[in-house]
Amino acid sequence: VRVELGDRAYDILIGSGLLDQIGSLIHDRLGDVRCLIVTDENVAPHYLARCKSGLPEGEKTAAIILPAGEPTKSFDHLQNVVDAALSARLERGDAVIALGGGVIGDLAGFAAGIVRRGMKFIQVPTSLLAQVDSSVGGKTGINAAQGKNLVGVFHQPALVLADTDTLETLSPREFAAGYAEVVKYGLIDDLEFFEWLEANRADLFSGAQSAQLRGEAIARSCAAKARVVAADEREGGVRALLNLGHTFGHALEGFCRYDASRLVHGEGVSIGMVLAHRFSARMNHASPDDVGRIEAHLSAAGLPTRLDQIPGEKPTAETLMEYIAQDKKVARGALTFILTRGIGQAFIAKDVPASEVHKFLAEDLGTA
C-alpha cells in the first residue's frame, strides 16, 4: 500500500516473513544507514533477535528495550530514546525502527521526529491495532498529566513493515481489540468492506485461510487510512472521520484510568462506535437497525459493545461528559462528534449540543 504524501510518500509492506528480510528492505529504500531499534520487554523476546539478524552487525545497529505498556509514553522514556539515538551517533539520514505495538510506535516516532530535528523512521508494527491504525498516518506522541497523546509531532515513516506472522503471538483479546479498528474503516465509508468482514470474520480469526484473510483485511484498512491521511495530513478536515467511536472511547478509557485490565483502546472504540451509532439513531440521522447489526458483529468478534460490560465501578453520565469536554478534539469549546447516517456513511457533526449527549448517556446508563 502506497501512502501518497508528495515528497514524503512511503510504502506499507504487508505480508508473511517480512521481518526476516528487513535488512534488504531497508537497504533498498534508505541505503547504508545506521539503525536504533526501539522495542519493549514483551516484544523483544519474540522478535528482537530476528530483527537484528537482518541488519548490519556491530555499531551500526543499536537497540533499546523499554517497559511494556501505556506509561512508557512519557517524557522520561522519550528522553531515554533520544539519548540512545544520540549516543549511537545517529545522523539525520539514519533510522529509528519501532518494533512493537502502538505505544512503541508513538514513542519511537516522536523521538525520530525531534532528534536532529527529524531522522528517518521505520515502523515494524507487531500488533493488529498498530498494523491497521497507529503505524499509518504520521501521528506520534506521548501522554501528559492532562491527557493522552497531548504532546507529539507529525512525523511520517519512511517505510512500514507489517509482518502478519507477528500476530501469532497476540492474545485473543489484543487481536480482537485491533479488529475493532478494522471494523471502523467499514463503518466510516465502506459498506462493502463491512459486509466482507461479516462474511469472513470467523475464518479471519481462525482457520486455514486466516493468514491470507488477515493480510487482506490489513491491506484494505491501511489503504482506507492512507486515503484519508493523504487528503488531510494535519487533521484540518476529513481526517477527523477516523475518530469514529473515539470521543466516547477515550472518555471510557479515561474513566478506567487507562487500566488495561478493565478496558483496552480497541474495546473502548468498540463500545464508542456502538454509542456513536445509537446516538446518531436517537438524533434521527441513522436507522436503529444498523445499531443492532454492528453490535452483533462486534460481539461475535469477542468485543464489548455496552457500557455495562466494563468491569468494576460504573461511570455516570456526568463523569463521562467531563472526560469528553477534556478531549482534545473539542474545538474551542464546541463539541465536535463523528456521527453517521448508516453503515459506511459517517460524517463530521460540529456544534453537537452537549446537553443532548448528556441526556443520551444518562438514558443509556439507566439513570435518566
Q: Which residues are known to be catalytic?
A: 117, 139, 181, 225, 235, 239, 243, 246, 250, 265
Does position 82 interact with a copy of itself (CB under 8 A)? The reply is: yes
Answer for the pair 138, 113: CB distance below 8 angstroms, yes or no.
no
Q: Work out whether 348 is an interface residue with a copy of itself (CB under 8 A).
A: no
5 binding a copy of itself? (CB under 8 A): no
CB of 114 to a copy of itself, least distance (A): 5
In whole angstroms, how close is the CB of 230 to a copy of itself at the nearest point? Answer: 17
Q: Which stretch binds a copy of itself (CB under 8 A): 87-95, 175-183, 243-251, 358-366?
A: 87-95
CB 340 within 8 A of CB 277: yes
109 binds a copy of itself, rule: CB under 8 A: no
Cα four-point dihedral sign 296, 297, 303, 305: negative
User: Of residues 255-284, which lie at the interface with a copy of itself (CB under 8 A)?
Assistant: none
**Can you tell me the distance from the alpha carbon of 26 to that of 22, in angstroms, rounded to the nearest whole number?**
6
Q: Which of residues 308-347 bind a copy of itself (CB under 8 A)?
A: 328, 330-332
How many angstroms separate the most distant Cα atoms in the chain? Answer: 65
Strand, coil or helix: what is 105?
A: helix
Closest CA to 149 of 226, 258, 262: 258
152 lies in the binding site for a copy of itself (CB under 8 A): yes
The count of residues interacting with a copy of itself (CB under 8 A) is 31
User: Based on CB atoms, which residue is closest to a copy of itself, 154 or 360?
Assistant: 154
Our finding on whether 144 is near a copy of itself (CB under 8 A) is: yes
* 2 touching a copy of itself, by CB under 8 A: no
Residues 252 and 271: their CA atoms lie apart, in Å, by 9
How would DSSP label each residue in 318-332?
HHHHHHHHHSTT-BT
Angle at 111 between CA 107 and CA 117, to 5 degrees: 150
Q: CB within 8 A of 173, min separation 6: which ones?
A: 264, 302
Residue 134 is given by DSSP the state I
Tell me the closest approach of the beta carbon of residue 283 to a copy of itself, in angstroms: 26
Q: Does 9 bind a copy of itself (CB under 8 A)?
A: no
d(CA 360, CA 364): 6
* Closer residue to a copy of itself (CB): 147 or 342: 147
Residue 112 near residue 121, CB atoms below 8 Å: yes
Cα–Cα distance list, 211 to 17, 162, 184, 224 (Å): 12, 13, 20, 20
Cα(294)–Cα(184) distance, rounded to whole angstroms?
Answer: 10
- Residue 87 interacts with a copy of itself (CB under 8 A)? yes
Kindly indicate which of the ranges 148-156, 208-216, 300-308, 358-366 contains the residues binding a copy of itself, using the contact rule CB under 8 A.
148-156
Cβ at position 78, least distance to a copy of itself in Å: 8
Report the C-alpha gap between 281 and 78 in whole angstroms: 43
108 binds a copy of itself (CB under 8 A): no
Residues 297, 197 contacting (CB under 8 angstroms) = yes
**Rule CB under 8 A: is residue 91 a binding residue for a copy of itself?**
yes
Which burial class, exposed, middle or buried, applies to 228 when counting CB atoms under 10 A from its CB (0-12, 13-18, 19+)? Answer: buried
Q: Identify residue 147 by its one-letter amino acid code.
A: G
- Told to check if 118 binds a copy of itself by CB under 8 A, we report yes
Q: CB of 88: closest distance to a copy of itself in angstroms?
A: 10
Q: Is residue 146 part of the contact set for a copy of itself (CB under 8 A)? A: yes
Among 145, 171, 208, 284, interactor with a copy of itself by CB under 8 A: 145
Give the residue with the Cβ less far from a copy of itself, 326 or 345: 326
* 151: contact with a copy of itself by CB under 8 A: yes
Residues that bind a copy of itself (CB under 8 A): 75, 79, 82-83, 86-87, 91, 93, 110, 113-118, 139, 141, 144-147, 150-154, 234, 328, 330-332
